[in-house]
Amino acid sequence: MHVGHPLGYIASDVVARFKRLQGFNVLHPMGFDAFGLPAEQYAIETGQHPAVTTDKNIERYKEQLKNIGFSYDWDREVKTCDPNYYKWTQWIFLKLYDSWFNPKTNKAESIDNLITLYEKGKKNQFGKPWNELTETEQQKELTQHRLAYKDESYINWCEALGTVLANDEVVNGVSERGGHPVERKLMSQWFLRITKYADRLLEGLETVDFSDSLKEMQKNWIGRSEGASVNFKLAEHPDNVVVFTTRPDTIFGVSFMVLAPEHPLVAQITSNEQKTTVADYVNYCKSRSELERKSETKEITGAFTGAYVQHPFTGKNIPIYVAEYVLMGYGTGAIMAVPCGDSRDHAFALKFGISIPNIFEGVDVSEKAYEEKTGKIANSSCDWFSIDGLTVQEAKQKVLEKLEDLEIGTKQINYRMRDAGFSRQRYWGEPFPISYKNEIVVADSLENLPITLPEVKSYKPSGDGKSPLSTIPEWVNMSNGNIRETDTMPGYAGSSWYYLRYMDPQNPDAFCEKQKSDYWQQVDLYIGGAEHAVGHLLYSRMWCKVLHDLGYINFDEPYKKLVNQGMITGPSQIIWRYNGTSDESKHSIWNTMPKIVNDIFNERYFIPFDKMYPIFFSSELIEKHETLRSNSSQLYIPIGNPDENKIVDINELYNYSIEKFEGVYVTEDGIFYKQRWIRNVGTPKFLSTLIENEKLSKSKLNTINPDDIVRSYGADAFRMYEMFLGPIEQSKPWNTKGIDGVSRFIKRFWDYCIDYDGTVLLNNEPANEASLKIINRILNKTKEDIEKYSFNTCVSSFMICLNELQAQKCRNREVFEKFLIMLSPFAPHTAEELWHRTGNTSTIIDAVYPSINEKYLKDSTFNYPISINGKTRTLMLFPNDASENDIKKAVLADTTVQKWIEGKTVKKFIFVKERIVNLVV
């Protein structure tokens, strides 16, 4: 754990404790999403069972959490890898499998409802009555509708590692580990039909309190676009080309069609003359990796098929091309190209010499496409139809209606989001409660759950693309002759519903009793990182909707309010290592880089070395010499204090790790090698480094362990400082020095209440008006600020409050007890201890947030800033009930004001009650 992790936990703990003080019944749990790759990877490396290492890690993490004083209800702890938990993950999966999305009711229903519909005569893909279909055929049909279903899909297959890789294990087209080639391989996989929920996931966003950026990310991910599908009749061929377009208004601007290279029509329609060209091109596309297709976006490639479609309005022949810029996976894999309105089509037209008809009024499209959606349509008519002079919106509508009239197009909505892949060829995940009988899916019955993860000899992948489970014949081959599914579920399975389990963590008979979820309802506050924006958050929203549709819970959004905590960044320290090839860096720095040494020291210098060493450069040299920078790589170092200076002792580096840091150091002062200067100008042995503020991370060696902070400053100072750093959503740098401020505050608070000898310094005298005023105001501000998650300003207010009470010499118990209660969510240990020392016997956790006396929130006077032409010149105190006229008289008579308006006329007197007075002269 590093200091970035607890930020959100502290914020939610403050809210939990505060709500408790206000009398709420607060559910504040913690749990562990413990299945997944890191544990499995570790198991492969060490041979230890992931369950063992996971438990160990959880224990360690809990220890660290407890060290910070969180008020978690540990009785509600959940672990997604616990069979008592994943029993219900499997149960929900079976519910998904046994449900379909009914478009008529717009919700999930039992698959039995669908079967009934088929029995009543609903059409199926085989064109036969339902009861005449074989079981395989029936299942095939139902598979098209189940919310969890099996389908063929491409995975990242790495032959060298003999395993399937997750997307983030593939970097630049090769495996992250070892850099082996990765290919796309078709495999049968489980999917969740989340696309059916696309619209409800979008609509649901309107009902929840998430940040704009997060909502935006989810919207982009779902990628809803409204448009039309249009049939273009092929010339001299019975088939149609079906395209999807968001701009039906540009239909008269179409000058060519493009099919994706994988499009099934390509082979059928290509003319004889073009056969070789197209085949070559398609092969070329196949040979190109995902990476190449992504990175080389400027290169325009394509081939003419020799075939044409007929324009539905003008009847003109339009050529059909194949090009890789059209993707098979989006829309229909075919587009109508409008070069005047789309920059990619424009570039393609220029390259292949295709005409660029202009359909926009008063716009020049010869150089680039006009992609704005404003202006009017022109040149868009035939004998029997015209949209000339219409706006984009009007034209869209009119074309769409006509297409529907002609029965060659319909309104269509397309989504970027795909169904979610739900299979992993891994060990450390939930087993599927699924087996196969003659290739037909058989779901385990609910009573048989959980299907527990069996012991396995090796956690290594099986080598043939299957999970390690496939290597256990006694598990795979069931007693009834069925074959078990050997894939496991992905990380987001368990995390999609854990908030429900917190409400009823021990229940052996239900994932969560309905009464319990009815009582607790949605999660009121969920604080988490933005990295889950489109994965976990979307999936859990979908699961919630399904469980709601099926009647298991009565809300259909899991999280009412979601706050994304910002990253905490920290200074990392970097040195530079020269990337000389082995050839050139033999034995001498002179041989290696004569030019550079010459540049730096203005002389040729030769140093014989007894072996080859890495060469490290001081940062200031890197900044001055471009050749050095481009030939050097950055290396994070673990020593020195980046808070204080940008230099590091070279000897210290040596001592830290001879293996890593023994080498030749080149600085402005000379060359340092084997702990002495070879060429020096007599200055200390320091190397200047580069300091970067970056996300805290092990690899950057800039993490700060909260245990260390707690040890030297205490948990309360640590908690308060994390809150004091700045707004919770913002990313901000950690500076250990800054913690002194809150640490001093806590000490000052203590010392003000308790004397050296332990005597309580508070008295029982009644508090004066001034003290009551400040404490009531801060009580009010703290309440307001916590409610808007502005924790940093709460901490400031506490400091202001103490400063003020000290200045007043206020030591009334009455005032300070209120202060302690207000402070307790932030600094629970200090508050609790002082609470007892000042004579209370119950815990401060059970205290009640003090009621606020409204009369102290308002002053009877206001100190008006008096400005002349908008610039404040003086301040004048007036009672709140003073009339504007009286104030005007007094202001005009004031000597400072007199000085500024002397010889000028006052044109206007602006008076805003309890805000400002402004004179315009």
Partner RNA sequence: ACCCGGGUGGUGGAAUCGGUAGACACGCAGGACUUAAAAUCCUGUGGCUUUGCGGCUGUACGGGUUCAAGUCCCGUCCCGGGUACCA
Instruction: Name which of residues 105 to 124 contact RNA (CB under 7 A).
Output: none
Task: Report the site for RNA in 891-910 (rule: CB under 7 A).
Answer: 908, 910
Identify which of residues 466 and 873 has a Cβ nearer to RNA in the complex.
Answer: 873
Interface residue with RNA among 174, 350, 845, 920 (CB under 7 A) is 920
CB atoms within 10 A of CB 174: 17
* Residues ≥6 apart with Cβ < 8 Å to 757: none
Residue 705 corresponds to which tokens in the numbers above? 């362990």
Q: Is 172 left (phi over 0), alpha (psi -120 to 50) or beta?
A: left
Distance of closest approach, residue 789 Cβ to RNA, in angstroms? 11
In the bound complex, what is the minimum distance in angstroms from residue 342's beta carbon to RNA?
6
CB of 454 to RNA, least distance (A): 35
| CB-based contact 539:496 (threshold 8 Å) | yes
Q: Show the tokens assigned to 330.
A: 């989006």
Pairwise CA distance, residues 786 & 780, whole Å: 10
The answer to the question of residue 351 lying near RNA (CB under 7 A) is no
Rg, Å, the chain Cα set? 36
Residues 209-238 within binding reach of RNA (CB under 7 A): 212-213, 216-217, 220-221, 223, 225, 227
* Binder of RNA out of 136, 730, 853, 898 (CB under 7 A): 730
Nearer to RNA (CB atom), residue 36 or residue 227: 227
> For residues 78 and 815, which CB has a smaller minimum distance to RNA in the complex?
815
State the DSSP string of 747-767: HHHHHHHB-TTS-B--B-SPP
Nearer to RNA, 138 or 896 (CB): 896
Neighbouring residues of 219: CB distance < 8 A, sequence distance ≥ 6? 202, 205
Please report how many Cα atoms fall inside a 13 Å half-sphere around the Cα of residue 363, on the Cβ side: 22
* Residue 865 C-beta: closest distance to RNA, Å: 3
Residues 747-766 that bind RNA (CB under 7 A): 747-748
Nearer to RNA, 159 or 643 (CB): 643
The nearer residue to RNA, 24 or 284, going by C-beta atoms, is: 284
Give the CA-trace dihedral at 38, 44, 45, 50, to 10 degrees.
Answer: 60
297 binds RNA (CB under 7 A): yes
Contact set for RNA, span 844-863 (CB under 7 A)? 863
**Count of CB atoms within 10 A of residue 45's CB?**
9
Considering only residues 769 to 788 of the shown chain, the ones binding RNA according to CB under 7 A are: 784
Alpha-carbon distance of 261 to 266, in angstroms, equals 7
d(CA 22, CA 34): 34
Tell me if 553 sits within 8 A of 547, measured CB to CB. yes
Residues 366-425 that bind RNA (CB under 7 A): 414, 416
Sketch the per residue contact string, 162 through 201, with RNA: x for CB under 7 A, - otherwise: ----------------------------------------
Site for RNA in 870-889 (CB under 7 A): 870-873, 875
Residue 102: exposure state from Cβ atoms within 10 A (0-12, 13-18, ≥19): middle
Nearer to RNA, 130 or 191 (CB): 191
What are the structure tokens assigned to 37, written together?
Answer: 């790759």
Binding status of residue 153 toward RNA by CB under 7 A? no
Q: Which stretch binds RNA (CB under 7 A): 5-13, 88-96, 243-251, 389-397?
A: 243-251
Task: Give the binding range for RNA (CB under 7 A) out of 39-47, 230-238, 590-598, 793-801.
Answer: 793-801
Measured in residues, the chain has a length of: 921
Query: Could you check whether the bond before residue 450 is cis, i.e. omega within 30 degrees of 0?
Result: yes
Q: Where are the beta strands (DSSP E) in 854-893?
A: 861-868, 871-879
Site for RNA in 272-291 (CB under 7 A): none
Q: Is 327 in the site for RNA (CB under 7 A)?
A: yes
Residues in region 592-631 near RNA by CB under 7 A: none
Residue from 563, 742, 762, 834 that binds RNA (CB under 7 A)?
742
**Region binding RNA by CB under 7 A among candidate stretches 138-146, 321-329, 396-404, 706-714:** 321-329
Give the one residue of 89, 229, 540, 918 binding RNA; rule: CB under 7 A. Answer: 918
Q: Which parts of 518-557 interact with RNA (CB under 7 A)?
A: 530-531, 533-534
DSSP state of 20: H
Q: Does 208 bind RNA (CB under 7 A)?
A: no
CB 215 within 8 A of CB 205: yes
Could you say whether residue 915 binds RNA (CB under 7 A)? yes
Residue 9 CB: number of other CB atoms within 10 A? 20
Question: C-beta of 637: minimal distance to RNA in Å?
Answer: 21
Of the pair 78, 538, the CB lying nearest RNA is at 538
Of 41, 48, 102, 246, the one binding RNA by CB under 7 A: 246
- The smaller minimum CB distance to RNA, of residues 217 and 472, is found at 217
737 binds RNA (CB under 7 A): yes
Instruction: Work out which of 13, 141, 324, 832 binds RNA, going by CB under 7 A.
Output: 324
| In the complex, minimum distance from the CB of residue 361 to RNA, in angstroms, rounded to a whole number | 21
By CB under 7 A, name the one of 40, 98, 249, 342 that touches RNA. Answer: 342
Residue count at the site for RNA (CB under 7 A)?
83
Among 613, 865, 876, 906, binds RNA (CB under 7 A): 865
The b/e string for 713-728 (b: 16+ C-beta within 10 A; e otherwise) is bbbbbbbbbbbbbeeb
Question: Nearer to RNA by C-beta: 670 or 706?
Answer: 706
Query: 579 and 633 in contact (C-beta within 8 Å)?
Result: yes
φ, ψ at 372 (rounded to 5°) = -70, 155
| Nearest alpha carbon to residue 873 among 897, 894, 909 | 897
Stretch that binds RNA, among 193-201, 355-363, 494-502, 790-798 (CB under 7 A): 790-798
Q: Which is nearer to RNA, 15 or 449 (CB)?
A: 15
**Amino acid in the structure at residue 389:** G
Rank residues 473 and 903 by Cβ distance to RNA and give the closer one: 903
Question: Site residues for RNA, window 668-727 (CB under 7 A)?
Answer: 724-727
Nearer to RNA, 211 or 591 (CB): 211
Could you tell me the smallest distance in angstroms from the CB atom of residue 735 to RNA? 6
What would the two tokens of residue 230 be? 């249009």
Region of 233 on the Ramachandran plot (φ > 0 left; ψ -120 to 50 alpha; else beta) = beta
Q: How far is the CB of 274 from RNA (least distance, A)?
A: 20
- In the list 188, 796, 853, 898, the residue contacting RNA (rule: CB under 7 A) is 796
d(C-alpha 812, C-alpha 892), whole Å: 44
Query: 297 or 366, CB closer to RNA?
Result: 297
Nearer to RNA, 133 or 300 (CB): 300
Q: CB–CB of 813/763 below 8 Å?
A: yes
DSSP category for residue 78? E
Contact with RNA (CB under 7 A) among 299, 361, 401, 708: 299
Q: Is 642 exposed, middle or buried (0-12, 13-18, 19+ CB in 10 A)?
A: buried
Q: Which of 283, 675, 735, 898 binds RNA (CB under 7 A)?
A: 735
- DSSP classification of residue 431: B
Q: What is the largest CA-CA distance in the chain?
A: 106
Select the residue interacting with RNA from 66, 180, 674, 744 (CB under 7 A).
744
Would you say 159 or 914 has its CB closer to RNA?
914
603: number of Cβ within 10 Å: 8
Give the C-alpha distances (Å, rounded to integers) separating 203 from 163, 200, 707. Answer: 39, 5, 44
- Per DSSP, the residues of 584-627 read TTSSBHHHH-HHHHHHHHSS----B-SS---EEE-HHHHHH-HH
One-letter amino acid of 524: D
Sign of CA dihedral 397, 401, 402, 403: positive
